[in-house]
Structure 1
Amino acid sequence: MELKVSTRSHAGHTVMTIVGEIDLYTAPGLQSEFTRLLQESPTTYVVIDMSGVEFCDSTGMNVLLSALKRLKERGGTLELAAPRPAVRKILQVTGLDSVFTVHEAVPGKLLTAEPKG
């Protein structure tokens, strides 16, 4: 399955929307998107809208953890929003639900961000 990634940024906040499956085959593309975002933007607060993610394996979780680490090194943060039940279960089983802040939906203040890509 193809992975689609789009971003919306506004005032140092970015919402990254992911649709599809994050696995061994699609994780490198997601990693590239994070790298591009961090190189091109002064963003310090990123929320990943996971409402369209149907599956995420350990490779995908590692990409998210890597992005979190890179943002923290810049003084920023990365949060997850609206994970589907299967993804939420993976977060709980791995204990990553205590590493990431997980929202039920994308925080309202970020919904006014301008679309990019």
Structure 2
Amino acid sequence: MTIVGEIDLYTAPRLQSEFARVLEESRTTHVVIDMSGVEFCDSTGLNVLLSVLKRLKERGGVLELAAPPPAVQKILQVTGLDSVFTVHKAVPEELLTSEPQ
């Protein structure tokens, strides 16, 4: 999955709904989020990511974050969430050949 723009109080509900739809409609247990296009992420956005992580873990899955820009990487580090999520500096090579969803 790819997220672009801002993840904040105003956009988080839409993101939460989209994740809920994807998780409901599929048996996906492994999600990698390309965050290279995220310009801003506040605590509301982090809570959405944490709730998705929790739902995936409940079904034995994982959530990975890829290519967060420096500002988002700093937020993950300051909050300690860089140790909760698997964070890749770039989008994993095997995903680059897949069609975006």
With structure 1 as the length reference, what TM-score do the two structures score?
0.83
What RMSD in Å do the two structures reach over aligned CA positions? 0.9
Deviation at 1:40, TM superposition (A): 1.0
* SS at structure 2 position matched to 1:114: coil
Match of 2:85 in 1: 100
Distance 2:42 2:36 in 1: 16
Q: Is the helix fraction higher in 1 or 2?
A: 2
Gaps in structure 1 of 5+ consecutive residues: 1-15
Q: Deviations over 1:50-75 (max 9, x none)?
A: 00000000000000000000000011
Match of 2:60 in 1: 75
Match of 1:64 in 2: 49
Distance 2:68 2:60 in 1: 25
Q: Post-superposition, which runs of at least 4 consecutive aligned residues in structure 1 deviate over 3 A?
A: none
Is 1:46 the counterpart of 2:28? The answer is no
With structure 2 as the length reference, what TM-score do the two structures score?
0.96
Gaps in structure 2 of 5+ consecutive residues: none
Report the AA paired with residue 113 of structure 1.
S
Match of 1:3 in 2: none
* SS at structure 2 position matched to 1:113: coil
Distance 1:74 1:33 in 2: 18
Query: Identity across aligned pairs (percent)?
Result: 84
Q: Is the strand fraction higher in 1 or 2?
A: 1
Deviation at 1:109, TM superposition (A): 1.4
Deviation at 1:30, TM superposition (A): 0.4
